[in-house]
Each structure stands twice: as structure tokens, then as C-alpha cells.
């Protein structure tokens, strides 16, 4: 950002990587605010983005679902992302990925994705994901998030991918409601996938009123009956903002029909009367199992 780098934008650096590369490529990003839509295509695997610092290296844009496109129509949810990550074996460290759209500017708000992922073996360490509704679109593939900070309000971790959130801070933005301040997850896991999202040793925090945020609800894209959400919160700390019921319905689909479970959570938002895994079942919910045999910690 200070002009000392090889490229002036993050996308220029990505564009310089040869297609179908077989060797790892590291792109170091100096502190600064990079307002651009970033895309890593599927034919550019093995890219690592390393920021100078998590708080001061910021990739940001402000598209949103209801925003009109120049050629007509609107961007839609999947078209609103600031960062698109299609390639496998991707790594991000020490940076912020943000959608800076101000939802108060549009009546009724709007979805505005910060990051869209669909590659396999994608790893994020000390990365901050900032947005409101639909912050992190885990669309497909396998992703591992460690020591990350994920912020939003409605369905802000969503999609059909398989993902582990390990030692992360999950922050629900206060919408100012006394009854409903949003939903953390909206998974759309296919019934043929045994695992969806696993939250391990993580912390759910918020300044929202007590009992006003749900752990999640089942998303059925287009009414797809095969999307049977799988979400587990295990050995995590749940703040007082978590609703007593934990889970809720969505678009006519019942939370009771989804695969929503908890195991040995603590904190004022924990409630053992909600669906819990048995000790035997909990043993199956490992990083390696969720990520199809891949363990990024090894």
C-alpha cells in the first residue's frame, strides 16, 4: 500500500500467478485498506495470502444482494462477496476480510457477503471476517478456521460446505432488538454429507440482550428437501445472548428435522436440555472426520 510492493492491488498479485500452478505461492500484503473485489479462481491452487497484521491489513468491498448491477438485475447474495475463494489448498493468515455495506442504508437490510468459499483444504488462521447478514458463505468444499474472529448478525456463517471452527471468537452484532438479534448459522448441508459445521473450543460473544440470538436455523436453498443442516457446538463457551431454545425454524422447515447438536458447552448460554451428542457420538466429531480425512494441524 506504501508503493514498495511488486503490485498495487491484491488482485494484480493473484493474476500474476500462473494458472494450474503446482507449487505454493505466498503473497504478502502490507498494512492498508484494499477496496477491491478479490477472486482466486479454481485453477490457481496453493496460494497463501499473508497480511502484515490482522487488524490493519483489510480486504474490503461494499456490494450487497439488492444492489442493482450495471447490466441490469441485482447482485444477489452469492454475487455480493468481497472475496471469492474457489481454489483448493488455499491459506490465509493475519488479515481482515470485510463487507463494509451499511445495512441501515437499505430498507429491510440486505445480504452482503464478505467471503465466499468453495475449495478443498482451505485454511484460515488469525483472520477476521466482518459483516452483518451473511458474512461468511461456506458454500462447498472443506475449510478450517483457527483462532479467527467472525462477526455478523443474521445467518452469518452459512452454506453447504464442511468446516471446522477451532478456537474462534464468534461475535453476534447487536441489532438492538429485545427479542431477536439474529442467527449464527444457516447451514444447508446435503443429507449425503455426514458432517457440516463443527465449532470446537470457541467463544460465542455479543452485547445483544440476553436470550436473543439463536445458534442457527436450517437453510434449504430453493426449498431443497435434501439440505439437512448439520451443525455441532462442542466444548465451547456460550454467552448469555444465546436463546434458551438454541435453534429455530426457517422458511417452513423445522429445526427439529436438522442435525443440530451440542456437547459439553459451558457458559450462561449453555443448556443441557437442548439436543446433545452422547460421548460415543462426540468422538466422531473430529477435525479429521469433518474435513474428509484432512487434518491441517498435522
* Contact status, residue 150 vs residue 165, Cβ threshold 8 Å: yes
Produce one character per residue of 63-90: b if its CB has 16 or more CB atoms within 10 Å, e if not: bbbbbeeeeeeebebebbbbbbbbbbeb
Catalytic option among 155, 166, 169, 279: 155
One-character DSSP codes across 193-245: -S--EEEES-EEEESSPTT-BEEE----GGG-TTB--EEEEES-EE-TTB-TT
Q: Say how far apart CA 231 and CA 247 lie, in whole Å.
A: 10
- Count of Cβ atoms closer than 10 Å to residue 3 Cβ: 6
Give the cell for residue 70: 450495471
Q: Say how far apart CA 173 and CA 258 lie, in whole Å.
A: 25
- The number of residues making up the chain comes to 298
Please compute, for residue 109, the number of CA atoms within 13 A of its CA located in the half-sphere on the CB side.
13
Chain position carrying cell 443440530: 260
134 is known as an active-site residue: no
List beta partners, residue 157: 136, 185
What CA–CA distances, in Å, run from 129 to 55, 242, 273? Answer: 11, 20, 31
Task: Quote the DSSP letter at residue 18.
Answer: P
What are the residue numbers of the active site? 155
Amino acid at each position: 500500500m506504501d508503493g514498495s510492493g511488486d503490485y498495487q492491488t491484491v488482485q494484480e498479485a493473484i493474476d500474476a500467478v500462473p494458472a494450474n500452478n503446482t507449487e505454493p505461492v505466498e503473497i504478502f500484503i502490507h498494512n492498508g485498506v484494499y477496496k477491491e473485489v478479490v477472486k482466486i479462481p479454481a485453477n490457481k491452487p496453493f496460494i497463501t495470502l499473508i497480511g502484515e497484521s490482522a487488524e490493519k491489513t483489510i480486504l474490503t468491498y461494499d456490494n450487497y444482494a439488492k444492489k442493482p448491477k450495471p447490466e441490469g438485475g441485482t447482485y444477489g447474495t452469492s454475487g455480493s462477496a468481497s472475496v471469492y475463494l474457489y481454489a483448493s489448498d488455499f491459506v490465509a493468515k493475519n488479515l481482515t476480510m470485510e463487507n463494509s455495506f451499511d445495512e441501515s442504508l437499505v430498507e429491510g437490510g440486505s445480504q452482503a457477503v464478505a467471503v465466499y468459499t468453495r475449495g478443498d483444504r482451505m485454511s484460515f488462521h488469525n483472520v477476521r471476517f466482518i459483516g452483518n447478514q451473511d458474512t461468511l458463505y461456506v458454500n462447498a468444499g472443506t475449510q478450517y478456521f483457527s483462532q479467527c474472529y467472525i462477526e455478523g448478525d443474521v445467518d452469518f456463517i452459512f452454506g453447504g460446505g464442511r468446516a471446522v471452527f477451532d478456537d474462534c471468537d464468534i461475535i453476534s452484532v447487536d441489532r438492538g432488538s429485545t427479542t431477536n438479534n439474529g442467527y449464527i448459522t444457516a447451514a444447508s448441508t446435503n443429507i449425503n454429507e455426514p458432517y457440516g459445521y463443527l465449532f470446537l473450543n470457541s467463544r460465542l460473544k455479543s452485547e445483544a440482550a440476553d436470550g436473543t440470538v439463536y445458534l442457527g436455523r436450517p437453510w434449504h436453498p430453493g426449498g431443497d428437501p435434501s439440505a439437512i443442516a448439520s451443525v455441532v457446538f462442542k466444548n465451547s463457551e456460550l454467552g448469555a445472548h444465546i436463546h434458551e431454545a438454541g435453534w429455530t425454524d426457517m422458511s417452513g422447515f423445522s429445526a427439529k428435522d436438522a442435525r443440530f447438536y451440542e456437547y459439553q458447552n459451558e457458559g450462561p448460554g449453555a443448556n443441557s436440555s437442548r439436543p446433545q451428542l452422547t460421548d460415543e457420538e462426540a468422538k466422531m466429531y473430529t477435525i479429521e472426520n469433518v474435513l474428509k480425512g484432512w487434518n491441517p494441524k498435522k
